Amino acid sequence: MTFKNGSSPPGDDPIRYRSADSFSSQVCSRTYFFTFLLTCQRDMLRARAAPFNHSHKVAKFCYADKNLINKAIAASVAARREWDLKPVQDRAEVLFRAADALSGPYRAEVLAKTMMGQGKTVVQAEIDAAAELIDFFRFNAKHAVDLQHQQPLDADGSTNTMLYRGLEGNVVLWKPSDTAMSASYLVYRVLRESGLPPNIVQFLPADGPVFGDAVTASEHLAAVNFTGSRLWKQVAQNLDNYRNFPRLAGECGGKNFHFVHASADVESVVKGTIRSAFEYGGQKCSACSRIFSTFFSAVIDDKSFARIKKWLDHAKSSPNLKIIAGGNYDDSKGYFVEPTIIQTSDPKDAIMSEEVFGPVLSVYVYPEKDYREVLQLIDSTQVIEEASAVLRNAAGNYYVNDKSTGSVVAQQPFGGARASGGEADSRPPHRVEVPLHGLTNHSPASDQLTNHSPASDQLTNHSPASDQLTYHNLASDPPANHSPASDQLTL
């Protein structure tokens, strides 16, 4: 893979975007090849086509089979102990350096590869692949360091040494999405160039079921972070085989809504809903896809195109649905779908409750006097990740007088509710704590013991001298009985 290092970070947005356009032209002129083997069996070779031009391949890569995945697990477990013993500040510095590289010399390149591989506009690529990723690197690293200050106290008030570090002390198997292979591999290379040792993060393109079967069968599994599905059962079926109870953090999308009250400002509703529903072709888990009362590129791949086409065909044939804008699609060259607005006379139609994940907005106009019944109907949806106003206990985020997309790292929470995700809040420092165990120190100065709750497998010894938690990573057993046999794997 070729890297072109700039001498200075991009300046204002126009300069940055021109740089990205220049890089995108270079990316268009070549195909990048990624593999982990000296030879790759033909049936394991894969290629990623640009979503807006089927004939151009932006990446070729080799799938890892079950044997290679198991070798990666073994290599990671062997490397974990040395990584875990590094001071957390040293581990955090890797992410700080990577963030600096992505915000400076590699910014235009990561934007270009995101635009080419995922079909994002330069603005959407900047929001996602640059700004948000850089923020997550910096904030998560900072909060991992900050957690070191949460130490238990001895009876005499002295602070105990924390034996086990936070999130960055674990090892990771990273299965990148086929649709984001080029940009993902660049991020991986930046991490390695920033000082990440080998085998701490294993970059493993693989078939989803093969990867899932291999990692969920490993006794070293300690945590799973995933996006886009609700396949929890594999972990649950193997609970007896794990050395630790795996932590699950998932972002599964949602059927998000804008509820428009009679007093709403119509112009604001229209602008906010159009942006929320159609930016990046509606392919955001927080996108508004139903409403009660901009240029984008092609959708990301053939599977997305087929799914959206099915919904549009359903709208054309259903007597309860009426397409009032858009509705056309064309995959002769790229996976293009028109921004589409569908009006329904039946608020219980499937298009109002199932996620389309495309530039399709369904609208139900309700009688003003029936707003309570409509809210109850909304409340019956099982996947709501983002919403605007009302139902304050039923979605991960609620916005008042704003669109349902655009939460900012470290400023607003972003988490799932119901079946849309398993984490309450992905905002630092809460997200950093998800894969950690909390322990408190028992002090002889206190004979008070908190009640054990069936909802918790942890027992907390309370001492007037300490109300603080210490954290250790899931790759370790509690301090009292740590042994070499306790090595775990975080995914």
* pLDDT band, residue 253 (cuts 50/70/90): low
Q: What is the pLDDT of residue 39?
A: 59
Mean pLDDT comparison of 46-50, 384-388, 398-402, highest-scoring range: 46-50
d(CA 56, CA 164): 48
Q: Which of 8, 16, 50 is nearest to 32 (CA)?
A: 50
d(CA 140, CA 473): 15
What mean pLDDT, rounded, does the chain reach?
A: 69
Q: Which of 369, 318, 325, 368 is nearest to 345 (CA)?
A: 318
Q: What is the pLDDT of residue 464?
A: 33
- Please say if the pLDDT value at position 284 is more than 70: no
- Please state, in angstroms and as integers, the Cα–Cα distance from residue 344 to each residue in 293, 364, 400, following that order: 11, 5, 25
Q: Which of 192, 228, 176 is nearest to 46 (CA)?
A: 176
How many CA within 13 A on the CB side of residue 146? 11
Q: What is the pLDDT of residue 227?
A: 64
In this structure, which long-range contacts are made by residues 263-269, counting pairs with CB atoms below 8 Å and at least 24 apart in sequence?
264/293, 264/401, 265/401, 268/401, 269/293
Residue-range domains of the chain with CATH? 13-251 (3.40.605.10), 256-399 (3.40.309.10)
SS3 463: strand
CB 416 within 8 Å of CB 396: yes
- What is the pTM assigned to this prediction? 0.65
In eight-state DSSP terms, residue 127 is: I
Q: Could you write out the three-class secondary structure of 42-54? A: HHHEEEEEECCEE
Q: What is the pLDDT of residue 21?
A: 53
d(CA 140, CA 135): 8
* pLDDT band, residue 252 (cuts 50/70/90): low
d(CA 390, CA 47): 45
d(CA 157, CA 465): 6
pLDDT digits (tens, 9 = 90+) for 33-43: 444 444 578 88
Hey, what are 153's tokens?
Answer: 């106290």
pLDDT digits (tens, 9 = 90+) for 347-365: 888 888 777 777 888 888 8
Share above pLDDT 70 across residues of the chain, in percent, rounded to a whole number: 55
Locus of tokens 């206990």: 393
pLDDT digits (tens, 9 = 90+) for 142-190: 888 887 776 545 444 443 333 333 345 788 888 888 888 999 999 999 9
d(CA 395, CA 391): 7
Beta-carbon count within 10 A of 212 CB: 19
Reported in sequence order, the residue ranges of 302-441 that DSSP labels E, i.e. its strands, are: 321-325, 329-330, 336-337, 340-344, 360-364, 386-388, 397-399, 436-439
CB 461 within 8 Å of CB 446: yes
pLDDT digits (tens, 9 = 90+) for 196-216: 999 999 999 999 889 888 888
- Please say if the pLDDT value at position 58 is more than 80: yes
- CA end-to-end distance (rounded Å), the chain: 26
* pLDDT band, residue 9 (cuts 50/70/90): very low
Q: Which of 250, 280, 270 is nearest to 419 (CA)?
A: 250
- Please say if the pLDDT value at position 403 is more than 70: no
pLDDT digits (tens, 9 = 90+) for 11-33: 334 444 445 555 555 555 455 44
Q: What is the pLDDT of residue 418?
A: 47
Across 293-302, 366-375, 472-481, least confident range: 472-481
Helices and strands: H and E segment counts in the chain: 13, 19
* pLDDT band, residue 413 (cuts 50/70/90): low
Across 109-118, 362-371, 411-420, 480-489, least confident range: 480-489
Q: What is the pLDDT of residue 183?
A: 92
pLDDT digits (tens, 9 = 90+) for 63-73: 999 999 999 99
Query: What H or E segment, with its residue span, contains residue 76?
Result: helix 66-85
Q: Which of 327, 362, 328 is nearest to 345 (CA)?
A: 362
Locus of tokens 């993060």: 201
**Catalytic amino acids?**
251
Q: What is the pLDDT of residue 388?
A: 44
Q: What is the pLDDT of residue 267?
A: 75
In eight-state DSSP terms, residue 87 is: -
